[in-house]
Amino acid sequence: MQDPCQAREVLGIVGDKWALLIVRMLKDGPRRFTELKRAIDGISQRMLTVTLRDLERDGILTRTVRNVMPPHVSYELTTTGQTLREATAPLLEWSITHLPHIDAARAAYDNR
Amino acid sequence: MQDPCQAREVLGIVGDKWALLIVRMLKDGPRRFTELKRAIDGISQRMLTVTLRDLERDGILTRTVRNVMPPHVSYELTTTGQTLREATAPLLEWSITHLPHIDAARAAYDNR
DNA sequence: GTGCCTCGGTACCCTGTGGTAACCGAGAAC
DNA sequence: GTTCTCGGTTACCACAGGGTACCGAGGCAC
């Protein structure tokens, strides 16, 4: 079990509830904090802040502050972030094709 | 934000600490409970049980009990599970190539 | 000048999740 | 008869994840 240790690490990076959603939101260029908050349904201000910080720390995205009033902070994927997004694409495709099947499996399991 | 809702769901399935490790362990055929427990370093008996149940519920793997003493229970990927493993392969590859870079980014960030 | 708005973020508190440890049941080995 | 194995279940407990409330500084209306 050496590779799987990396699997565990990669989940530490993208495995939380919001990271992939944020990465996905940034695929078409930089976005501002409030823009992300509005677009990602259900995320709290705190969780957006925390997740963005983590992703910045991991070098997935960059945080750019323009020191004006009201504050203007924008987030943008790094090249590493771009490759990450590409790597997660198959998983997203998988989810689109298989989620109905999984919902069915769940329903069947719960009905036993 | 409709696709990302699916991203959230897929994380509900494979996004926990252990699910991907288990899926990976099963790639070469069925494994027994204790075999998995020994192979996946650090997993507790409880978490192995819980995670296996969840994956079974989602139709990712099957649980087969041979009613003998001592008990013999084996787990095997379903075809859905196989496709999931294939879909996660790029992500694992990404992690192998980028984790050093990410560790470096983290260290740099923390040293500021 | 005094409310009130926006943007981005922090402080605090609570809940749920995951981990540890103990126990179980039935046969088999010694 | 004691102890081991396999595959769990249950009770308990700490910690992290996540929600809510608040903040600060400028702009703008009145």
Contact B20 A39 (CB under 8 A): no
3-state helix/strand/coil string of A45-72: HHHHHHHHHHHHHCCCEEEEEECCCCCE
**Residues of chain A found within 8 Å of residue B102, distances taken between Cβ atoms:** 13, 58-60, 80
pTM listed for this prediction? 0.87
Q: What is the mean pLDDT of residues A21-40?
A: 95
Please report the pLDDT score of residue B5 as a whole number: 62
Nearest chain B residue to A92 by CA distance is B7
Band of residue A5 on the pLDDT scale cut at 50, 70, 90? low
Contact B39, B27 (CB under 8 A): no
The C-alpha atoms of residue B35 and residue B55 are separated, in whole angstroms, by 17
When CB atoms are compared, the residue of B10, B80, B90 closest to A87 is: B90
What proportions of chain B, in percent to the nearest 5, are helix, strand and coil? Answer: 65, 10, 25
Please report the pLDDT score of residue A1 as a whole number: 43
Residues of chain B below pLDDT 50? 1-2
Contact B7 A20 (CB under 8 A): yes
Band of residue A2 on the pLDDT scale cut at 50, 70, 90? very low
Please report the pLDDT score of residue B85 as a whole number: 94
